[in-house]
Structure 1
């Protein structure tokens, strides 16, 4: 769905879980907010406007907590409970304008360049939020002198929430990135992008994929599921859509070398799925090729090249 972002459509997006370019407001119906581009008069603003014109996505360096944390079911901002336990999420700060040009270069080279315009236009989230600070937040534990919870933060390159992906390095840290740092950024950002596509159910498996497995069978082990070409964890409500998402994620998160390495069939990760240890009947490889070729033919995008590049291969 290609619409300019308009908030105040809570009911629609709550019902239509796959909505793509429509942001949602928590304010009463009838109050409309729209994002205005450009947000400033810097040289990079022209580039941000062109991205919106090309893909329908807003790259924002001025945003509110609602833009970052709102979802149909909850406010996802990390909070501390009365027990001291911290909920999982991220804390952010808007990008420093002095480093946004370099940040856009990083996004272009390590993210957008791996996809066709058709793919980006169809699958990018409503908003990409440019951040100087992007910290993962989660609960830690202190045992001395007495047990207590603690707040733990860790910088991360990117994070997906509902209709947005937040991206870090909009600060002087971007001037110090090594080749490994850039590869880590690439791995995390593309992984979150594919996660966002799966979470919004934007890519639906074709009949050839869905009909190649009987999802009505009860499997009693991971190895039994692998033998039929199923990647999902065998006890988690198997569906063609969930399996399709799992194949997409496998290609982006693992290199071909990792996928072809022998790993025990009790392991529920995608590592080794193309090796005979997991793929005893060759059905995983058959379905893997269905998914890989679908995106090559439909979008001119080879998802496996992303997984290979993320691992330096």
Structure 2
């Protein structure tokens, strides 16, 4: 993926004759100069690029964070100079890192992600840009307020650990926020970073569907499921079951459990959180601590939906070990 930009450059060169003058464009073929400074961590960043080909950047332009090939993801609507266009209606906020905290965040990334996967995965599938950021968040609307004939939209920003978009991963915490980071914050940082990278691996067909996953004996009869009813049937998301296609339903289920494998056990074993009955992707916080009666799948065999979930989860964990992934560090991040 990361070398698509090099191919674009080569194609541009091939299309020019000797008299043509090549000038840099504003496109995505930008390459970056390393090191960006002379801090202790800069040599490590250079080593990562030399070995795996991706750029870890803590100084970058706005386009490196917000340009998504066809749209601009930065939240701009509260900017007095904002002009509405269809490609600039984003909801992301973020800034460059505070250099004083880059080393700490890089250390988290190494322990929680980089050291977990085989080296070829980092080389082949890590996006070209890995941005270390501060103040990374997603803007959402809380409500509206009507006052003196004017309606004001009330917004807030939800802090993001990780933001994934066009050929980039961006991570947060490189600011004074790190001074108050807690072990639980690092658990969720690990969860979100590995979830993003696992999704990239899945999209690149790294993992082959294993028929052993279906040998759990789980029933895949189609039903419209939401909220806790998903867990009661042993599923994670309402996109799993496809009407009239059991094979695809099983594959969807397998893919969902690949992402569940990136969630630290301390999160899965925590106190369960409340779930809306219409939630299509219910929170897995406390999933393994939930208690239900027999699985709501038309049978009474002593197995609950959580039993099915744990059985499928354990199968996927063992499978990932065969791919060279350090699942112990996924389940128990070094924080």
Task: Kindly report which structure 2 residues correspond to 1:31-110, keeping only aligned pairs within 5 A, or say none.
Answer: 32-80=29-77, 89-110=91-112
How far off its partner does 1:125 sit? 2.4
Question: Of the candidates 205, 208, 211, which is equivalent to residue 208 of structure 2?
Answer: 205
Report the CA distance shift for 1:132/1:257 in structure 2 as closer, same or farther (over 3 A). Answer: closer
Paired with 1:154 and 1:227, the residues of 2 have a C-alpha distance of: 30
How far off its partner does 1:134 sit? 1.5
Report the CA distance shift for 1:119/1:102 in structure 2 as closer, same or farther (over 3 A). Answer: same
Paired with 2:333 and 2:119, the residues of 1 have a C-alpha distance of: 20
> TM-score when scaled to structure 1?
0.70
1:246 paired with 2:252, answer no
Paired with 1:226 and 1:176, the residues of 2 have a C-alpha distance of: 34
Give the corresponding residue for 1:131. 133
After superposition, what is the alpha-carbon deviation per residue over 1:123-168, rounded to whole angstroms, capped at 9, x for unaligned? 4222210113312222232335365323322433322113211112
Contact 1:92 1:134 in 2 (8 A): yes
Report the aligned-residue RMSD: 4.3
Contact 1:62 1:94 in 2 (8 A): yes
Unaligned runs of 5+ in 2: 12-24, 78-82, 243-247, 296-302
| Residue aligned with 1:77, SS | coil
> TM-score when scaled to structure 2?
0.66
Paired with 1:73 and 1:241, the residues of 2 have a C-alpha distance of: 30
Give the corresponding residue for 1:233. 238
Report the CA distance shift for 1:225/1:107 in structure 2 as closer, same or farther (over 3 A). Answer: closer
Unaligned runs of 5+ in 1: 12-24
| Residue aligned with 2:110, SS | helix
Greater Rg by CA: 2
Paired with 2:219 and 2:166, the residues of 1 have a C-alpha distance of: 28
Paired with 1:49 and 1:56, the residues of 2 have a C-alpha distance of: 10
Paired with 2:172 and 2:230, the residues of 1 have a C-alpha distance of: 38
| Residue aligned with 1:244, SS | helix
